[in-house]
Every structure is written in structure tokens, then in C-alpha cells.
Amino acid sequence: MNKKICIIDDEVHIRALIEQTLEDLEDDHDVELISAADGGEGLEAIRTEHPGVVFLDVMMPVMNGYQVAKAVREDPALADVVIVLLTAKGQEADRRQGLEAGADRYVTKPFDPDEVLNIATEVLGLE
Amino acid sequence: MARSPLFIKVYSGISVIVLALSAMVYSISVPYVESYTYAGETQHARMILDEVYQLVSDIQRQLDDYREQALHWHEKELQNLLQMAETLVRKRLGDETPPSPAAKQRLFEELRAFTYGNNDYFWITDYDSRVLSHPDPDLHGTDLSALRDIRGDLIVPPIVEIARREQAGFHSYWWRRLGQEEPSQKLSFFKDFPEYGFVLVTGIYLDDVEIEMKRMLGNAVDRLRQRLRSIKIADTGYVYIFDKELRMLIHPNPNIEGQDIAGLINPATGRLLTPELIQAADNPAGLSYLWDRPSDPGNYVYEKMAWLRYHPDFRWYIASSVYTEELRQGARELGRRLLRIGLAALVVSLLLGWLFARRIVGPVQDLARTAGRVAEGDLSARSVSGGRDEIGALAGAFNRMVEQLRDHIENLDAKVAERTAELEKAYAELQRIDRMKSEFLSSISHELRTPLTSIQGFASLVERDIQRVFRPLTAEDPKTGRKLARIEGNLEVILQESRRLAELITRTIDVSLVESGEAEWNDTPFRLRQAAEDALAKVSPMALEKPGLRLDAAAVADIRLRADRRYITDALIELLDNAVKFSTEGGVVLEAGLAAGEIRLSVSDQGIGIPPAEQERVFERFRQITQEDDLVDKPRGAGLGLTLCRGVVRHYGGRTELESAPGRGARVTLVLPARLLESKSEEQAGVTLDE
């Protein structure tokens, strides 16, 4: 398993929050964190870095989360990338739309940092 | 026209009246006319009989008159002859008394030789009834004091007696004519000659009067026969006469005349007919019997009427005979004529009735047709019914009404179109604003979440870092430890408040979605009691802060619903939350169950209540009970709870009910249709609120 985690969110504070949540994994498990500030940049990062898990915001400039997820799923080489959507709405329709676009999981904003940490640990198979 | 119900009503009414009147008049008049006519015919038949009787009586009187006349004439003649003979007697006998026998002899011889008329003569008797002179040699000189005529009466002695008493007189007796054997009635006139001691007698036979009378009677009967044959009673009725000896005298059938009818049998009864006829004589009712008809001989089934009168002088039975049928014929004919006239009148009446009904109904029908067209929307329709009567006035008024109606509708249409356009514009604007509001709420909520995520997330991270990194360092430094504890407390406040904020945002979004119809409904079966417990668990911490308050959910029926459990629970939470929020003591009672075919979920409290003016609007978004002093009493909550409740029950086709008065608490009820019950058996199993 590739120990790279990609964080894609246009909000700098959210990116920082997730980065700080996961920084222990960087130290303890040699996990590499990669951040992107919009959908286009994020997709590029996924393609070049091939992360094991991606925390993907929905509402973003250039490409939104659904579009990014869809593009990832259309690339067979990225089939093993686990996509976790960060949705603010929390409604069934949004969740379904995300899952249809190719997301594997979702986390509703505002989220508990432990939830994000647990997902990353579980997906990457870390202790 | 004939299919018009009104026409049928009017015309059938007229017809019924005309027919009923006709039937009544006919049924009353015709039998009366018939019986009256029959009575008249009967009367007529009897009158004819009376007339014939009168004729017979006239004949009788004529004969009587003739006889009287003839006798009178004969008497006169006898008196003249005797006067002449007296002259001769006095001349021959002179004044000499007693006269000389020779003179007497000569006188007697002269008288014996003298005859007159039809061999009539003079004879002389003495007072002892001895014939002194007679032309018959057999009687001359004989004593006739004991001689009697064929009736047994003495002949001469009465003559002598009357002559001695009254000098002269008449006497009638039966005697044979000279040269004839058959006696006939003789009328004698005689005169007493006391100076000579004899009575001079002369007489004439009255048989010539009888003969004349017989001849006259024969002529009269012939005339009567002619007369009777010309008499017709009804069609074939006739008059006939038979005498007491049952001999037919006059009959229309000459073959029967002169025949003895005593043995005539009534074929219908088998008895003799004549006794029955005689019995009926002078009875006004007459005799009814059965007889045959000339056209149907031998068939004795036709009823005949006979009336008879007995003429005692002639000893005749005068009878009339007529077929009853013919007597009725006039009545029948009259009845038939009345019927024909009546039928003609009836047809004319019905025809006139038809025209009358058409005249009445036609304009009404036109009016009704026009009204029908107007009712179907054809405002150009106008009634053509005119006339100066009420219907004409009605039609005129109707046309004016339609005219006004058309004007009004045209005006109204224009106004409605104008207003509708305005309203549509306003509605579109409102929809746009509402959409904007929803979008604004949605986006503002979303925008709020992002900073909230940061606040909550970083607070958590700070707390974690304190726990992991800094707490162990303060073991030897109590002052720093106390400081750290305070920071932890503050962080907890930040976290709590941000969770509250997140919840508020979630609810706002929920309400927006429910109201806009965009919410996702996930109907699953669940126990209502479970949902109630979840809701109570949610509000009980807040309730515990108010010592006077007690939560009561004992009266929640154990029923299963199929609905979105989250929304139903949320709605109950909102109701309980409000109740707890706006009351400080008493019970907050949650009740749920079936009543009147509906599911009722209600929460009641003894709180501040809702003023009537507010009750209509508390379900609106962001609406809270108006506070008297905003500065003292800050708003409690966002004012979204009842809005959500209303949205949820509306989604399921239910409604909300609110009972409240200021200071006396409130009861809010969510009414849901019974179809939300998981199964039909729930209805029976469910405990109703009334119980």
C-alpha cells in the first residue's frame, strides 16, 4: 500500500486541520502528506503521486470534488485510490451523488479530527 | 314540440279534462236521453192505441146517433100514419055510438087492405086483446091475450094497457113480417078509441134500421181497417182488433182476418196467447212476449210489446203490437248521434287544446332553450318569444338580463385577466424571492460550516495536544496545571457552542429542505414508543435543569408506523423542546395514539401559552412568541421547530392543531393519517387517546 495521503481543499484552514490531524502518521509511519488547493491541482497530484487515500472537498474552484472523483475513477491505473469526500451538506442526495461519482467514503463537515485519523489509519492499514 | 315535457304536461292536462268532461256528459246524458226517448216511443205507441180506441168510440157514437135518429123518424112516421088512419076511422064510424056493425065492417076491411112501406099495416084490438081486424087472416079475430114474442114477453096486453092509460103510446116487440117467418123487432104506435072500445095499432119493423146500421158498421170497419193499415208504430208495429169471441176483426195480414184466434199458442211459453192478451187489457204496462220476425220466421226470440184496450160497447179488444227493439231504435239512433257529435266535439276540443298548449308552451320552450344556451355559455342567445302577456314580459326581461350579464362578464373577464397577470407577476416575484431565500439559507449554512469545521477541529486538536503533550508536563507545576485546566474548560465551551451551532445549521437546512420539498424521505417501519423515547432522551437534560418540571410519556400507544423515523423523532423533539423551553413547572405530557381514524401525537404543557393573535403564525419560519421586552427576555431558539413539525405532517397529508391561551399552557398536536400505520391490525391493537 502506498503510504501517501492527498488532501484537496480550497480552504487553507481545513487543509491545515487535516494535515495537523495526520501529522503523527507522518512521523510514526513514514506517511507522506500531499496538499492541493483546488480540484485541478488535486487531480494532477493524484495522477503524479498516486496516493493511497484522498480527502476530497466537494465545493472547490477549477474542478469540484465530484468531477475529480469521476476523473480518478475513469483512470484504471488509479483504481486502488480510496477517495473520501468531505461534504458539508450531509444529505442523502449529496452522498449518493458522491458515491455515484466514485467516492468510497464520506465525512460530514464539521467533522471530528479523530474520524479523519481513524479512516486514514484503517485505509492505509496502519497501527 | 311533442317531446317537450311541459307541452306533454299541459296538453295531457287539457286532454284529461276534455276526456273526463266528455265521458261524464256522455255517461249522464246518453242513458237519460235513451230512456227518455224509449219512454216517449212507448207513450207514442199507447197514444196510437188510444187514438184507435177513440176512432172506435166515434163509430159507436155515429151508430148510436143514427139509431136514435132513425127511431125518431120512424116514430114520427107512425104518428103521421095513425093520424091519417084516425081520420079514416072517424069518417067511417061517425059520431054514432055504438057505430053500426056495417060501418065497422067497412072500416076494418079498408084498414086490412091498406099497407104501406115495407108491407106495414094497421090492426085493431079490443080491450081484451082480441084482434078485431088484421091483414093476416090467421090472426084476424083471434084472442092474443096470451101471445108472447120470441123473448117471452106478452105482446098485446101491454099495448092495451098503455093505450087505456095514456090514450096513445109506443111499444116494441118481436114479430114476424108479413109473408116472412123470421121475427124481427117491431115498433108499434097505437091509439085508444074509447068511444068505439078498441085500440088502433100500426107498426114498422126495425130490422131495416139494424140492416142499415150493420151496413154502416161494415163501412166504418172498412174505413177503420184502411186507417189501421196506414198506422205504423215505430217501424213495423201495427194495431189489430179482435172481438170478445176471439175472432180477428182487423189485422194487417188479411189472411188472419175473420179467423178464430182462441187456439193461438204463444210458442215461447207454450200457453194460449189470447188469455194473456185479455189479461193485459187496459193495463198501461202492456204485455211483453217473445215472437218471431218476418225476416226470421219461426224463431221466437224477439221481444214484443202489446198494449190492449177493451171497448165494452163493441166488445172489441183493440191491440197494438210492436217489437221492443224498434221502440229502442230511436233511442239507440239518438244515442249514436250524440256519440258521433260528442266524438266530433272531442276531436275538435283536442285539436283546439293542442293549438292552445302549443301557444302557451312554445314561448316557454323557446325561453328554456335560450336559457339553456346561455347556461352553456352562449351569451349571444336571445329569446324570440314576444307578445304582450307575462311570458313575453319574461322573455324581454330575460333578454335584458343576458345582455347585462354579457356586459358584466366581458368587463369581469378583462378585469380578471388584468388581475391574473398582476398576480402571476407578483407570484413569480415571490417565488423568485422564496427561492433566493432558500438558496441563501442553504449557502449561508454551508458557508457557516466551513469555519465551524475549523473551529471545532482545531479546538479538538488543541485539546488532544494538551492531553498528550502538556498535561504530563504540569505534574510538578500546580500553577501551570490549574491554568491548563482552565484552558481545557474554555476549550470545552468552544466545542459545546460550536456543536450547538452545527446543530442549528443542520436544523435550518432540514427545515429548508422539508419546506421546499427537496428533503429525502426514508420511510421505514418503527415503533412509535421507540421514537418517543429517543425524543425524550434528547430533551431530558434540559428538563432536568428545571426542577418544577416533569416529563410524562406514559400515554404513548404501542403502535408501529411506516414513516421517516428521523423526521418524526425530530418533530417530537421540537415539540418537547418548546414545551420545556416555555414552561417552568407542571407536566410536559407526550401523548400518542389513534383517535377518530387518525394518528395523533400531542405535547401539552402548563407554560406561558400562546396569545390568540400569535397562534396563526407560530408555525412560520423564524417566528417566536413576541416578547414583551426583548432586552429582558431574549429569544429562546431559532423559531424553526414548529415550522419543521408543520412541514413533516404536511408531507404525510396531516395537519397541526394548537390549543392554547396565554398563561395557561399549550397543546400542540400533530395529526397524521392512519395509512401510516404499519399494518391494519395496528388500528385494533392501538390504544386510542380517548382510552
Write down the pLDDT at residue A90.
56
How far, CA to CA in Å, does A64 sit from each of A88, B72, B383, B453?
Answer: 13, 174, 74, 19
Neighbour order of strands in the sheet with B655-660 = B549-552, B586-595, B598-605, B666-673, B655-660
Write down the pLDDT at residue B669.
92
Q: Does residue B688 carry a pLDDT above 80?
A: no
pLDDT-derived band at B636 (thresholds 50, 70, 90) equals: low
**Closest chain B CA to residue A91:** B520
- Letter for the amino acid at B466? I
The tens digit of pLDDT for each residue in B521-553 reads 888 999 988 999 999 998 888 888 888 888 888
Write down the pLDDT at residue B204.
86
Across the interface, which of A13, A89, A114 has its CB nearest the CB of B446?
A: A89
Question: Residue A31 maps to which CATH number?
Answer: 3.40.50.2300
The tens digit of pLDDT for each residue in B117-128 reads 878 889 999 999
Do A111 and B502 count as a contact with CB atoms less than 8 A apart? no
Q: How far apart are CA B127 and CA B163, in angstroms?
A: 9
Residues 6 or more apart in contact with residue B377 via CB below 8 angstroms: none
Best of B441, B445, B452, B453 to mutate (most A CBs within 10 Å, chain A): B453
The alpha-carbon gap from A92 to the nearest alpha carbon of chain B, in Å, equals: 7
Residue B184 contacts residue B205 (beta carbons within 8 Å): yes
Chain A contact set for B504 (CB, 8 A) = none
Across the interface, which of A89, A90, A110 has its CB nearest the CB of B456?
A: A110
Select the more confidently predicted residue: B669 or B619. Answer: B669
The tens digit of pLDDT for each residue in B562-601 reads 999 989 999 999 899 888 888 888 888 999 888 888 999 9
Q: Is A14 on the interface with B (CB under 8 A)?
A: yes
How do the residues of chain A divide into helix, strand and coil, expressed in percent and rounded to 5? 50, 20, 30
Q: For residues B348-358, give the mean pLDDT.
A: 89
The tens digit of pLDDT for each residue in B76-114 reads 989 999 999 899 888 888 877 778 888 888 888 888 888
Best of A89, A92, A114 to mutate (most B CBs within 10 Å, chain B): A89
Looking at the 3D structure of chain A, how many domains does it have? Answer: 1
Q: What's the pTM value of the predicted model, to 2 decimals?
A: 0.43
pLDDT-derived band at B672 (thresholds 50, 70, 90) equals: very high
Torsion angles phi and psi, residue A106, rounded to 5: -150, 155
Q: Is B498 on the interface with A (CB under 8 A)?
A: yes
Best of A91, A95, A99, A114 to mutate (most B CBs within 10 Å, chain B): A91
Residue A84 contacts residue A41 (beta carbons within 8 Å): no
Write down the pLDDT at residue B630.
45
Write down the pLDDT at residue B691.
38
Write down the pLDDT at residue B174.
86
Domain assignment of residue A106, given as a range: 4-123
- Residue B3 burial (10 A CB sphere; 0-12, 13-18, 19+): exposed
Write down the pLDDT at residue A121.
92
Write down the pLDDT at residue B325.
85
Chain B contact set for A11 (CB, 8 A) = 450, 454
**Average pLDDT over all residues of chain B:** 85
The tens digit of pLDDT for each residue in A39-68 reads 999 999 999 999 999 999 888 888 888 999
Q: How far apart are CA B85 and CA A70, in angstroms?
A: 193
Residue B556 contacts residue B591 (beta carbons within 8 Å): yes
pLDDT-derived band at B367 (thresholds 50, 70, 90) equals: confident
pLDDT-derived band at B405 (thresholds 50, 70, 90) equals: confident
Q: For residues B17-37, give the mean pLDDT.
A: 86
Q: For residues B367-371, give the mean pLDDT.
A: 86
Flag the least confident range among A23-32, B39-48, B500-509. Answer: B500-509
Chain B contact set for A88 (CB, 8 A) = 446, 449-450, 453
Residue B679 contacts residue B668 (beta carbons within 8 Å): no
Per DSSP bridges, beta strands B248-250 and B238-243 are antiparallel
**Closest chain B CA to residue A109:** B453
**Closest chain B CA to residue A95:** B520
**Closest chain A CA to residue B458:** A17
Do B520 and A14 count as a contact with CB atoms less than 8 A apart? no
Q: Is B119 on the interface with A (CB under 8 A)?
A: no
Q: Is B521 on the interface with A (CB under 8 A)?
A: no
Write down the pLDDT at residue A127.
66
How many residues are there in chain A? 127
Concatenating the DSSP letter of every residue in A6-56 gives EEE-S-HHHHHHHHHHHHHHHHHH--EEEEESSHHHHHHHHHHH--SEEEE
Q: For residues B1-24, give the mean pLDDT.
A: 84
Chain A contact set for B518 (CB, 8 A) = 93
How many residues are there in chain B? 691
CB contacts under 8 A, B 412-471 vs A, are: 446, 449-458, 460-461, 464
Do B454 and A11 count as a contact with CB atoms less than 8 A apart? yes
Residue B186 contacts residue B178 (beta carbons within 8 Å): no
What whole-number percentage of chain B has pLDDT above 70? 95
Q: Does residue A7 carry a pLDDT above 90?
A: yes
Place of cell 099495416: B121
Across the interface, which of A21, A92, A110 has its CB nearest the CB of B449?
A: A110
CB contacts under 8 A, B 627-686 vs A, are: none
The alpha-carbon gap from A77 to the nearest alpha carbon of chain B, in Å, equals: 33
pLDDT-derived band at B161 (thresholds 50, 70, 90) equals: very high
Across the interface, which of A93, A109, A110 has its CB nearest the CB of B520?
A: A93
